Amino acid sequence: MSVNKLNVTPMMRQYLDIKDENPDCVIFFRMGDFYEMFFEDAVTVSRELEITLTGRDCGLSERAPMCGVPFHAADNYVARLVEKGFKVAICEQLEDPSTTKGLVKRGVVRIVTPGTILEGSTIQEGKNNYITSLVRTEDHYGLSLCDVTTGEWLVTEVSIDQGDHKLMDELAKFAPVECLLDHRVYTDTKLPTHLKDRFNALVEEIPDHVLDYDLCEKLLLNHFHILGLDGIGLSNHPACVLACSSLLNYLKETQKNELSHLGQITFYNVNEFMLLDSATRRNLELTETLREKKRKGSLLHVLDHTQTAMGARYLRKCVEQPLIHQEAINARLSATEELKESLFLRDDIKASLSAIYDMERLVGRIAYGTCNAKDLIALKESLRVLPELHGHLETTTSHALRAMYNSFDDLSDLFERIDVSIIDEPPISLREGGLIKGGYNQEIDELRDVKTHGTNWLRDVETKEKEQTGIKNLKIKYNKVFGYFLEVTQSYNHLVPDYFIRKQTLSNCERYITEELKTIEEKILGADEKLQALEYKLFTEIRDFIAEHMDRLLRMSRLVAELDMLTSLAIAAEVNGYVKPLIDESDTLNIVGGRHPVVEKIIGQHQFIANDVYLNETDHQINLITGPNMAGKSTFMRQTALIVLMAQMGSFVPAESAHIGVVDRIFTRVGASDDLASGQSTFMVEMMEVSNILHHATKKSLLILDEIGRGTSTIDGLSIAWAIIEHIANHNKLGAKTLFATHYHELTELEKTIPSLRNYCVQVKEMGETIIFLHKIVPGSVDHSYGIQVAHLAGLPKEVLDRAHAIMAEIEGESSRDLRAVVETSSKAVEEHKLQTEQNTVPASAHVEASQASLTAEPISLAQTVSPSGQVSLLEPAQATPPAQMSLLGGSDLHVEIIDALEDADLMNMTPFEAMQLLFELKNQLNGKGSKKKKSRR
């Protein structure tokens, strides 16, 4: 800030010094009953909050720009600035102005950032507010996350080998609002941009000196009062030590307190939970809808019957992080079952939970020292319910509920301390008295007695003095300058006794004071000030006493949250007619009468058409689903994924029955849009997502793939889809259970060559030009997509539909050969090649036959052709055989080169992209564009 400090007033110099120490913050500078901002901060705040910009004399030739907000309403203004991306430094008066001579000492007591804000609209009841620190070592990312409003502190590590995709998938679980990155991550990766774009997060770089390992270790040991890192489980995780310490350092620097509620770090393994990548979370609409980003219409909205904010946050975590261990899943399911089957138990627990406030965030405010007396009363009312909640659990039998009962702490000592000390309806302000109950402190009672009876004492003195002196018009009065005094008119001056002490002479009266009146005055005037100070002192003592039991409060908060979550799942199961799934470690996925949990809520359960699905790793590994758009394929596939996810989070599921072998990961590819910001097309986004799936799925994964290859030409798309299916079906490469929906009806022929693939289709009833979608998935396939009929339902003009029918008839009439013959021939060639590869004999004749099968003189071209309607046709007859192709058929040198290239190609170990690249180069050679040089490939 370019202001000459030598020329400004002492107060303004103080402000400028504090601003220099916090240059990236807006300074809220306490001036009496206001927080004031000056210079550039004033201009910024005035603009952003739409408050009046004025000026203040500061010693310069021009007044300093200034604006201000009342201190009692500052939280709202601070929250609004933080929401807009600003950091706000709260600068308080550190001395009492009434007892200080000269300039009052001031200092920053807290810096408010998106990840450390405690109040405001950014803090949603049912959602955590995470700040994260990310540090990279040679082999790992250390990731530490904290919600300072609840005291939750997590840490994990991600191997560098797993790539940035894994890291982003992990961050997507938590959607951090503020991110601290080390120098290498901040400058050498695209992560800062991704975090800003994806989560609208504030991203900052961690200073290098903060990441000295010895200093980091020392900071953690001091904070947790331990002798070694084994005490927090981080001795073998150096990246986690750096991440946790850098986060703790930042929080201590910005919050200016001991952070006593951050008393525990929870280390978790990223593989402890089902892997859900970012695309899958979006596609399945787990916590918000895909288009409108609203909670209503998501799975979370359907399952959420929680009564507390803590329970709502815990339920969200369970949706975001399904379990993968059979024992843990079945423990949750058993607890959910007991609560579902016992109506009275469930209702009693629900009623008790409804009276509990957000204990986690109340504890956070207590630890920060920002709570008021109303917060303590809210905590007391929550603690009041705990004994009865404990009683409800006494008769439970499931393992999870019994564990809660046995570890229950009713916190009765904390309840009693608040109950005897804080009045039931205290004011918001802590500095104006009215906080402490009568009988709690003798001095407070005496001061209140003085304050209450002071008027009576003054009346008694006035009456007594009138009688003793005979001055009938004598009155006791008060002003701020002289305090209390006796006023006597001039006509009665001769009756004034000697013990009256003159204070002031006026034209028509005299004012006096007596020793008795002086004593009463001191009691009355000092009582209010003393009372306010003493009540505040006692309040802070009570607050500190509660803070000493932070770990007990947080432990019980989390127990209540888990119980609320289980009760919510039980209510959802009862209300929606869900059933308990059978969970084991088998390779079976058998759902009978499955329904989509969200869609059925919208259209009604009785209107929803239920469907079965059966998958295993042998003869039903891939279900290939065909059928027209709008017929229900995507809903069917999504509901399968959601049922598996619900089961593994411990929820009952929308089905008649469900047998689910534990799935380690769910991947979905069900639609993409152009990524305009990075210049990536729909097809590129699709291929990147598919690539991620093929590289990271396992045999225990569930894949949901919808219309793979539709973003490019028909031949390319069909080829890619075909190759992907073969790759998934190969147990040596993947072998994952898969639902694969497609419009490429030619792919249904793969059922003949892939033993683990089964064809399914959506039933459609035709009625002349109209079709009726039955939304039923049955074995078999369809041979067309009913595109024109769907266009009819969409309301296209009749002349357009008639022309479409004519064009389709023309195309079908001209087609002299069904592409299925090519598919069958190519599939046969692939099988022969596999056999020959296993026998380590691959004669050139096999490749020649395969090539000639695709390039016969029959009138068909596998090159892309376009019909007059503009639609890509697979059945359009070739108009002429290209010269290069004729030379190939005639056995030219080019022919030999291509045969050699095919011989060198290791088809069984190629990725789909490598296979497509090979075909592209061979095609270019046929068209005279490619290099004549023989290429060697693995």
Tens of pLDDT, residue by residue over 110-143, are 999 999 998 877 788 889 999 999 999 999 999 9
CB atoms within 10 A of CB 811: 17
Tokens of 630: 């709008």
Query: What's the confidence (pLDDT) of residue 80?
Result: 93
Q: Are residues 512 and 589 in the same domain?
A: no
In a domain, 80, yes or no: yes
CB 11 within 8 A of CB 103: yes
Describe the crossing of helices 326-341 and 633-648 by its angle, rounded to 10 degrees: 90
Q: Are residues 351 and 496 in the same domain?
A: no
Q: Are residues 645 and 747 in the same domain?
A: yes
Give SS3 for 475: strand
**622-631, 666-675, 710-719, 811-820: least confident range:** 811-820
Tokens of 15: 């402000």
Domain boundary among 752, 773, 796: 796
Look at residues 108, 100, 105 and name the one whose alpha carbon lies nearest to residue 26: 108
**311-325, 344-358, 689-703: least confident range:** 689-703
For residue 765, pLDDT over 90 is answered with no
For residue 798, pLDDT over 80 is answered with no
Q: What's the rounded mean pLDDT across residues 844-864?
A: 35
Cα Rg, the chain, nearest whole Å: 38
Domain boundary among 796, 825, 859: 796
Look at residues 110, 570, 80 and name the one whose alpha carbon lies nearest to residue 353: 570
Distance separating alpha carbons of residues 380 and 357, to the nearest angstrom: 9
Q: What's the rounded mean pLDDT across residues 27-39?
A: 94
In a domain, 39, yes or no: yes
In a domain, 894, yes or no: no
In a domain, 11, yes or no: yes
pTM over 0.75? The answer is yes
CB atoms within 10 A of CB 670: 21
Rounded to 5°, angle at Cα 92 from 89 and 94: 140
The distance of Cα 820 from the centroid of its chain, to the nearest Å, equals: 48
Query: What's the confidence (pLDDT) of residue 850?
Result: 37
Look at residues 840, 664, 820, 663 and name the one whose alpha carbon lies nearest to residue 745: 820
Who has greater pLDDT, 125 or 676?
125
Query: What's the confidence (pLDDT) of residue 857?
Result: 34
Who has greater pLDDT, 539 or 812?
539
Strand order in the sheet with 589-594: 582-584, 657-661, 589-594, 611-615
Tokens of 791: 């266009």
Q: Are residues 636 and 785 in the same domain?
A: yes
Q: Are residues 691 and 706 in the same domain?
A: yes
Annotated binding site for ATP: 627-634
Residues 6+ apart with CB under 8 A from 827: 749, 750, 752, 753
Whole-number average pLDDT of the chain: 85
Any idea what the CATH number is for the domain that residue 470 is in?
1.10.1420.10
In a domain, 786, yes or no: yes
Q: Are residues 252 and 385 in the same domain?
A: no
Q: Are residues 338 and 263 in the same domain?
A: no
Q: Are residues 311 and 229 in the same domain?
A: no
Give me the number of domains the chain comprises. 5
Distance separating alpha carbons of residues 597 and 583, to the nearest angstrom: 19
In a domain, 415, yes or no: no
Q: Are residues 668 and 766 in the same domain?
A: yes
Look at residues 557, 145, 135 and name the one whose alpha carbon lies nearest to residue 321: 145
Residue 692 banded pLDDT, cuts 50, 70, 90 = confident
In a domain, 928, yes or no: no
Q: Are residues 635 and 769 in the same domain?
A: yes
Question: pLDDT tens for residues 573-632?
Answer: 999 999 999 999 999 999 999 999 999 998 887 889 999 999 999 999 999 999 887 778
Residue 888 banded pLDDT, cuts 50, 70, 90 = very low
% of the chain at pLDDT higher than 90: 62
Question: pLDDT tens for residues 521-555?
Answer: 888 877 888 898 999 999 999 999 999 999 999 99
- Specify which of 121-130, 379-388, 523-532, 798-807 reaches the highest per-range mean pLDDT: 379-388
Residue 802 banded pLDDT, cuts 50, 70, 90 = confident
Look at residues 175, 164, 68 and name the one whose alpha carbon lies nearest to residue 115: 175
Look at residues 475, 494, 493 and name the one whose alpha carbon lies nearest to residue 484: 475
Any idea what the CATH number is for the domain that residue 243 is in?
3.30.420.110
Distance separating alpha carbons of residues 262 and 197, to the nearest angstrom: 29
CB atoms within 10 A of CB 207: 13
Q: Are residues 571 and 538 in the same domain?
A: no
DSSP string for residues in 307-364: SSHHHHHHHHHHHHS-B--HHHHHHHHHHHHHHHH-HHHHHHHHHHHTT---HHHHHH
Distance separating alpha carbons of residues 377 and 385, to the nearest angstrom: 13
Residue 796 banded pLDDT, cuts 50, 70, 90 = confident
Q: Which residues pair with 65 in a beta bridge?
A: 55
Annotated binding site: 627-634
Q: What's the rounded mean pLDDT across residues 341-360?
A: 96
Any idea what the CATH number is for the domain that residue 85 is in?
3.40.1170.10
Q: What's the rounded mean pLDDT across residues 764-792?
A: 76
In a domain, 375, yes or no: yes
CB atoms within 10 A of CB 272: 12
Domain boundary among 83, 112, 141: 112
For residue 675, pLDDT over 50 is answered with no
Which range of residues forms the domain containing residue 207? Answer: 131-272
Q: Which residues pair with 462 in a beta bridge?
A: none
Any idea what the CATH number is for the domain that residue 693 is in?
3.40.50.300
Who has greater pLDDT, 400 or 816?
400
Q: Are residues 694 and 743 in the same domain?
A: yes
Query: What's the confidence (pLDDT) of residue 715?
Result: 83
For residue 315, pLDDT over 60 is answered with yes
Distance separating alpha carbons of residues 863 and 713, to the nearest angstrom: 10
